[in-house]
Amino acid sequence: MVNVIEIAPSILGGDHSRLADSVGKIAGAGLKWVHVDVMDGHFVPNLSFGPGVVKALKSAYPDMFYDVHLMLDNPHLYIDAFARAGADLISVHAEPEYPVSATLDEIHLVGKKSGIVINPKTPVGDIAPYLPKVDLALLMSVQPGFGGQSFDVAVLEKISSLRRMREEMGLSFRIEIDGGITASNVGECIRRGVDTIVAGTEFFKNGASLLKAVLEASAL
Ligand code: DX5
Ligand code: ZN
């Protein structure tokens, strides 16, 4: 089973004074996915966007697919709000203490796709119990909180392991990577099994090279 490759530019790397224009750039590049990083200042040391921003962008660009990455200590309290705002896929981290499995169920109950996320230091085996019920598994390749950090190559082995687990379990969830993605490292991620690529800084600064590198790697 092979998923079609999607690039999900992160609006964290866009122009925060003109977020709708940043989504316009994504649409203009022929892409459909928009990655929205939501931060609470507790689980990660930064604050970013709330459901109001998702709602505004969804109304400006209703045909885009909003891939909402919740970096929150209490993500289960906000599923309904982001679903109503127009999120299409909601991802939650495995690290904080909250009912992870029930939260993934709730995401489906409100009619959205679900994702499970792990930080660079969290072993991939930790998410095995959730894999049968998710549409996507997201591997962080930087410690979350800020755009513009350097890619941690230790994630490469995790991509391979996750792909093996997916095969062994007979599942078809997407494998997404997030953090420090550039035109130089995206090819190796795709070869290892990534099919969904988050890119903030690189998309908005160097988008043409990124798209070219993705096309070249997907053609192999
Ligand atoms: C980090 C976020 C990422 C970030 C990626 O906390 O989850 O989505 O915006 O940005 P770049 O591509 O600049 O590393
Ligand atoms: Zn993210």
- All domains of the chain, ordered by start, with CATH? 6-11+14-218 (3.20.20.70)
Produce one character per residue of 103-120: b if its CB has 16 or more CB atoms within 10 Å, e if not: bbebbeeeebbbbbbbbe
Residue 178 Cα to ligand 1 midpoint, Å, equals 6
- Ligand 1 site-directed mutation target among 10, 46, 90, most atoms within 8 Å of CB: 10
pLDDT digits (tens, 9 = 90+) for 90-143: 999 999 999 999 999 999 999 999 999 999 999 999 999 999 999 999 999 999
pLDDT digits (tens, 9 = 90+) for 48-102: 999 999 999 999 999 999 999 999 999 999 999 999 999 999 999 999 999 999 9
Whether 197 contacts 188, CB under 8 Å: no
pLDDT at res. 11: 98
User: What is the C-alpha separation between 162 and 73, in angstroms, rounded?
Assistant: 24
pTM for the whole thing? 0.98
pLDDT at res. 1: 56
Query: Catalytic residue numbers?
Result: 37, 178
Ligand 1 atom with the shortest distance to the CA of 151: 14
Question: Taking CB atoms and a 6 Å cutoff, what residues make up the pocket around ligand 1?
Answer: 10, 12-13, 35, 37, 69, 142, 144-149, 178-181, 198-202
User: What is the C-alpha separation between 78 and 147, in angstroms, rounded?
Assistant: 23
Residue nearest to atom 4 of ligand 1 (CA): 147
Residue 149 Cα to ligand 1 midpoint, Å, equals 8
pLDDT digits (tens, 9 = 90+) for 146-160: 999 999 999 999 999
Whether 21 contacts 56, CB under 8 Å: no
Please give the torsion angle defined by the CA atoms of residues 150, 142, 35 and 32, in that order, rounded to the nearest 10 degrees: 60
Ligand 1 atom with the shortest distance to the CA of 35: 8
Q: Is 178 left (phi over 0), alpha (psi -120 to 50) or beta?
A: beta
Ligand 1 atom with the shortest distance to the CA of 179: 14
DSSP state of 62: T
- Amino acid identity, residue 218? S
Residue 128 Cα to ligand 2 midpoint, Å, equals 21
